[in-house]
Structure 1
Amino acid sequence: MPMNATDIERMIKEAIPDASVTIRDLAGDGDHYAAEIVSESFRGKSRVQQHQMVYKALQGNMGGELHALALQTSAPAS
C-alpha cells in the first residue's frame, strides 16, 4: 500500500522538528511525490548529507511503500 503525503510529512517532521515540508503528489497515484524541505539543520551539510537525513527520517520506506520521492532540500535563507 502506498504512503500518503500526510505520513511522509509527519515522519520527516518527527526526525527534523524544525523542518518546513511541502509535499506534492506528482502522478496522482500516491506513489510518486516531490518534497521540498527547508531546515536549519541542513546548514553546512552537502546535498547528499541533507538527502540522507530525509531518507533516514523515512525509516526504510523508500523503494518500498514509497516508490519515488524527488527531494529539494535547503537551509533557510539567511
Structure 2
Amino acid sequence: MDSSRIQAMIEQGLPGAQVEVSGADGVHFEATVVASQFAGKLPLARHRLVYATLGEQMGGAIHALALTTRTPEEVAARR
C-alpha cells in the first residue's frame, strides 16, 4: 500500500475532499482530510467516514492511520 493509493481511495469515497497522505514504511500512515461532509460531526464520526472509504484495507494493508479531519470552514478559521 502506498500514500497515493490511500489518497485516491479517500478522495473517491469523499467527493470534493482535499486529502494529504504521508507514510514511508508502507503500513503506517498519516492523513489530513478536509471535507464538507464532516460538518456537524464529532471526531469519531469523521474518522469512521474516512475508514469507510478504505474498507478492508484498514487493519490489513494499512496497519495504522493517524487522522486529522477538518471542514473547509474550520481550515478557513485557522488562517
State TM-score, norm by structure 2: 0.88
Unaligned stretches of 5+ residues in structure 2: none
Letter in 2 for 1:57: T
State TM-score, norm by structure 1: 0.89
Shift of 1:30: 1.2
- Per residue, is there more helix in 1 or in 2? 2
Residue 11 of structure 1, aligned match among 9, 12, 15: 9
Q: CA RMSD in A?
A: 1.0
Query: Structure 1 residue runs of 4+, over 2 Å off?
Result: none
Work out whether 1:30 is the aligned partner of 2:26: yes
Question: How many percent of aligned residue pairs carry the same amino acid?
Answer: 39
Count of aligned residue pairs for this structure pair? 74
Q: Deviations over 1:9-31 (max 9, x none)?
A: 11101110111001111xx2111
- After TM superposition, the structure 1 = structure 2 runs for residues 38-53 of structure 1, keeping only pairs within 5 Å, are 38-53=34-49
Shift of 1:5: 0.7
Unaligned stretches of 5+ residues in structure 1: none
